[in-house]
Chains A and B, each alone.
Chain A
Amino acid sequence: MTKDEIRSGILRALMQVAPEADLSRIKPNLRLRDQLDIDSMDLLNFVIGVHNEFKIDIPEADYPQLATLDGFIDYVAKAQGQKQG
């Protein structure tokens, strides 16, 4: 799976929790919570969405790695690689 495909999947999951957000304006290296009005319930639903999209486990201890869109993409890419490897 390419990083663009991962990015699309993550944005699909994000759209589910913040449907009003203009995803094209998200800066990939800034904290998502600073750019979108999302709370811990939204974050949990977002993580569930990503989990369902990519079929990867995301332990709570890894949440800090998921603060930005870039962080999310790297995390999923790594998890996908580990799954296949």
Chain B
Amino acid sequence: MAEFVMPQLGADMSAGKLLQWRKNVGDRVERGDIIADVETDKADIEVEVFSTGTIEKFLIQPGEKVPVGTVMALIHEVGEPTSAVPAPSRELAPAPAPTPAVAVLPLRREPPPSTAEVTRLHISPVARKLAADLGIDPASVSGTGPGGRVTLEDVQRAAQAQAAKPSVPAPELDRATRMRQAIGAAMARSKREIPHYYLSTTIEMSRAIAWLAQENLKRSVEDRLVYGVLLLKAVAMALREFPELNGLWIDGKAMKKPEIHVGVAISLRGGGLVAPALQNTDRQSLDELMKRFRDLVQRARAGSLRSSELSDPTITVTSLGEQGVEAVFGVIYPPQVALIGFGKIVERPWASEGQITVRPVLTATLSGDHRVSDGHRGGLFLAAVERRLQEPSQL
């Protein structure tokens, strides 16, 4: 019997609310079918199933909010013996068995204990700080260190256990507030856990812009490309040469991913952002990429993204050029290990072969995870992106 669980759709999700089931008990489902709509702090998501079979039982009803990893339905898989396997009751379903991708850390729920309270405890300074950051009362944590000392690992374990508990009913916050909280929690975790390094390079864009203008002259308005698509493809192709940047950091280990699914940061109307994946970015033609990019932006803003689009990204690209920003030094979205930023195309004096001319230039940046890569490889990667953009017809 396959379990359909509340998926983790990014580091900033710890729970989701079932809005509706799209199927009924007894319906046949295939891997990839959308079977539920789930509300997260950031958006309403169409959730796909990853098994093929028949829906045996729903364990969660529309309107219920459950932690990530909670079993929501049971699916009798194709080829499975029909003998009844005792279905786990909701009580038996171990609430969150979080997906391996991310250990979910809770939002701050309680005020940190007073200093006086903490200093009486046998706890390491770093563990004390983490407990304060996470809103964990150190007095409630069982210490496993020498003499019962509370260690960093003890606090992390307590945080995960707290995240696993069904949340105490609290006044319902509006989505904008919940989204900011979720993003804030994920970014705080990123800055706490990931040793970031930052690089930037200036890319001369004359050739890319001229090529794009010529290309768009030949196209009907529906088929035109935006320059952002060239940037995405250049990044994806450069990643083939630097696979260590295209992956995840899970359970203390780097995992390179064979597919390149670039997550694209998309700002939402009314604030906030999501970064769904353009799957197999490196293998799409510019036309296909543009079509999918347009569709993704429209669906992100209309609130109809699919769960796999939020769980698949292997790296994120963000561009703030249209907001007038010249360089973006982003925060890596865990468990990813790199983030690429693009700024605005601006005209600048450009010296080449002893001549100074005015050229359009773009600042590309890399935020990298030092546990996985270093500035040397990161610099070579940015050079590879630059090289790709000098040959736009090859993208």
Contacts and interface: CB of A to CB of B under 8 A. Distances in A.
Interface string B284-298: 000000000110011
Interface stretch (A3-11, A23-31, A43-51, A74-82): A43-51
A40 interface: yes
Contacts of A59: 217
Contacts of A39: 267, 322
Interface in B201-256: 213, 216-217, 221-222, 224, 226-228
A60 B297 contact: no
B269 interface: yes
B270 A20 contact: yes
A18 B269 contact: yes
Given A18-B269, A20-B269, A20-B270, A41 B226 contact: yes
B224 A44 contact: yes
Contact of B269 (A37, A41, A45, A60): A37
Contact of B298 (A20, A45, A51, A58): A45
Given A37-B269, A40-B226, A45 B294 contact: yes
B228 A47 contact: no
A45 B227 CA distance: 15
A44 B216 CA distance: 12
Contact of A60 (B216, B267, B293, B294): B216
A20 B365 CA distance: 32
Contacts of B298: 45
A58 B226 CA distance: 15
A60 B226 contact: no
Contacts of B226: 40-41, 44
A69 B226 CA distance: 22
Interface string A34-68: 00010111001101100100000111110000000
Given A40-B228, A41-B293, A60-B217, A48 B222 contact: yes
A85 to B, nearest CB: 22
Nearest to A58: B221
A56 B36 CA distance: 42
A21 to B, nearest CB: 9
Counting chain A CB atoms within 10 Å of each CB, which of B269, B294, B297 scores highest?
A: B269
B224 A40 contact: no
B299 to A, nearest CB: 12
B221 A48 contact: yes
B344 to A, nearest CB: 11
Contacts of B213: 60-61
Interface of B: 213, 216-217, 221-222, 224, 226-228, 267, 269-270, 293-294, 297-298, 322
The 3 closest A-B pairs by CB, nearest first: A39-B322, A51-B221, A60-B216
30 contacts: A18-B269, A19-B269, A20-B269, A20-B270, A37-B267, A37-B269, A39-B267, A40-B226, A40-B227, A40-B322, A41-B226, A41-B228, A41-B293, A41-B294, A41-B297, A44-B224, A44-B226, A45-B294, A45-B298, A47-B221, A48-B221, A48-B222, A51-B221, A57-B221, A58-B221, A59-B217, A60-B213, A60-B217, A60-B224, A61-B213
